[in-house]
A and B are shown apart, each in its own frame.
Chain A
């Protein structure tokens, strides 16, 4: 007699797998990678290869040493490596991405149980770790490569070990300019072109500068339904709102809003890092709180912090709040919400009070 496979339903599953999701994220990061090449030459690509290589090696080694099942085939280590590389200034020395990748994978991800169990976004946490370790090189930015000015695609390769950049090629990021404007007054957008910032012809982290490239990748993720629109939209929207509120008494409030939107890591963070599965809440209300919290903290850090940028700190903090936010669960279909029951109670109370008032008024009218 034939043997049949017996299992509990469902007997079919969707074609989506963890690996396919990670592959989609890798594809979505390609426009930003290409942009970093077009803007800063080959050096950021070299950094990315180092970073990805170390991330995959770290995960492979960890699994080997701890005798766990190999998990590198789910491609998530590649994603972490790419995001970290795109988060770094374009001319960091070679050891920075290596240390960063090891930290991201071993400390933040694997020690907490691997994929899906990291307490915070590994790339963000690694970036903050690197900023604390090497504040100098992590905040030193360069101008885009200018081929007409005697530079070539290999121009920044002399920085593999050299951390003392000649002043001629260092550049301030747009947000550094904004920071100066906050402290000294004046127009935060002075000398900035919105088009340059949109295309990425500015100083900044390798993958964060080109808003256009990020949006192309983000669109791909949204179409493939890898990420949901809610977190990025609420995050970016609340940055706009809180910037407008905090700079309401400045005559340049409009300039603050658009420089904050296009400058720094907001777009990259909103679409690629705040949406990290393991560290973002899922219930609609929790997502709203998460997004608004991100926007609020980002503006607070940017305006009042000692650094000009605040996206990564905001995301790290909200990542840590996420387990708390996950306590908010969606309302079960058919279950009355607390708002509804309490609202009804309040409504009834109002009705009671109002009808009493009406009655007493009527009585008075009658008496009168």
Chain B
């Protein structure tokens, strides 16, 4: 039987060097900086003052609105200050600086046994759970869809090169992922859930199939980027097409991430709010690579210095938070780990691509690989002419920014980059 997939897409080399490295706890520095903006939406509001003593797992910032989530201290210790630091996506936001006393005195939420739908929803909200694939959309909002939903999809495709933290979760915490999935199902009131896993992870598929029960089904997916894109994974698994500009719930689906499901199980059964996550550190710029349990608020510079070993600093020429296809290049190492920090890559020149764009040869590869069936070639031309109206007419707002077009372009043209510019321009015009 042909494996389930979507149309078009590309095949970057997987580079999953860390897939056999088990998760281990990452050391914690003397000071952590808890970001108040670890999610999409309004930043959290600080609820502690400088000089307060906080416990590990204590809420230090409450949700700043409906589309927002509380944040928690990852260590016990004294609140030193509130400082502005750049996040991994380059915004300057308030961070709560906490001096680690290395006692790890812990507070947790009450453990729930056999929780009701409402209890799960409340817990997801209270534990500050957000989509942990990178988009960090608050999960409690996602669990209250406007349309009736009948299918939950857990995205375990992990189609970005290098990243292996979800894979390790499958292997090491299969039961928690399945239990978390079942909790999400209960919260949504659906009786069917699919966990989509790319077929290049046969061990994960095997382990998860053994662990799956109660309406949870494991679906092997074809290895193709962007298999883990929301609309694409919905199409691959259910053959439902999310309308352009629409939300998954309109076709009765909710998509959540593997790590999110795991964190829901932790929050409900162990009462542990979200302040710690699995993360992959890879690349040739550091000596020790692997998968780690990292607490929130650890500066990237601390991660780098801990893992660098003997590798000279000149071997790290690009630092990427996230995968190489959609991740964010870091200007410096001041940002800290947060709920959405799935990976950190330290790459030397030979591991990423540096090409001067040449003239478009009109080969049509961008068109034939776009998973959204767009025409990146024409969009880029419109952007070069600053004709954003035309770009909008061509459907630029439907772009999921997966980067397949710029990846495949033989002339190495910055196609998705131009599209991003157009989207930004159109959005800012819309606001005026």
Contacts and interface: CB of A to CB of B under 8 A. Distances in A.
Judge: A and B partners, yes or no. yes
Interface of A: 1-2, 4-14, 16-18, 20-21, 71, 74, 76, 113-117, 228, 277-278, 282-283, 329-336
A11 B347 contact: yes
Interface residues of B, number: 67
Contacts of A277: 361-364
B12 to A, nearest CB: 6
A143 to B, nearest CB: 39
Contact of A12 (B235, B322, B325, B365): B325
Central interface residue in A5, A17, A283, by most chain B CB within 10 Å: A5
A106 to B, nearest CB: 17
Contact of B329 (A4, A17, A18, A334): A4
Contacts of A331: 373
A7 B417 CA distance: 9
A332 B412 contact: no
A11 B317 CA distance: 12
Contacts of B359: 71, 113-117
Given A332-B372, A333-B244, A334-B242, A6 B329 contact: yes
Contacts of A9: 320, 322, 324-329, 401, 403, 416
Given A14-B10, A14-B408, A116 B317 contact: no
Given A12-B352, A14-B407, A115-B359, A4 B412 contact: no
11 contacts: A4-B332, A9-B320, A11-B329, A12-B12, A14-B408, A21-B363, A71-B359, A277-B361, A333-B231, A334-B241, A336-B243
Interface in B404-432: 406-412, 414, 416-417, 420
Contact of A334 (B352, B361, B398): B398
A330 B328 contact: no
Q: Nearest 7 A-B pairs (CB), nearest first?
A: A10-B403, A282-B364, A334-B244, A116-B361, A13-B353, A116-B362, A11-B324
Contacts of A8: 329, 414, 416-417, 420
B224 interface: no
B324 A10 contact: yes
A18 B401 CA distance: 23
Interface of B: 7, 10, 12, 161, 231, 235, 241-246, 313-314, 316-320, 322, 324-332, 347, 352-355, 358-365, 367-368, 371-375, 377-378, 394-395, 398, 401, 403, 406-412, 414, 416-417, 420
A5 B367 contact: no
Central interface residue in A8, A228, A333, A334, by most chain B CB within 10 Å: A333
Contacts of A117: 359, 362
B382 to A, nearest CB: 12
Nearest to A21: B410
B416 A10 contact: yes
Contacts of A278: 361-362
A113 B360 CA distance: 11
B390 to A, nearest CB: 12
A74 B403 contact: no
A20 B403 contact: no
A20 B409 CA distance: 12
B318 A11 contact: yes
A333 B324 CA distance: 24
A17 B368 contact: no
Contacts of B410: 14, 16-18, 20-21
Contacts of A335: 243-244, 395, 398
B403 A4 contact: no
Nearest to A73: B358
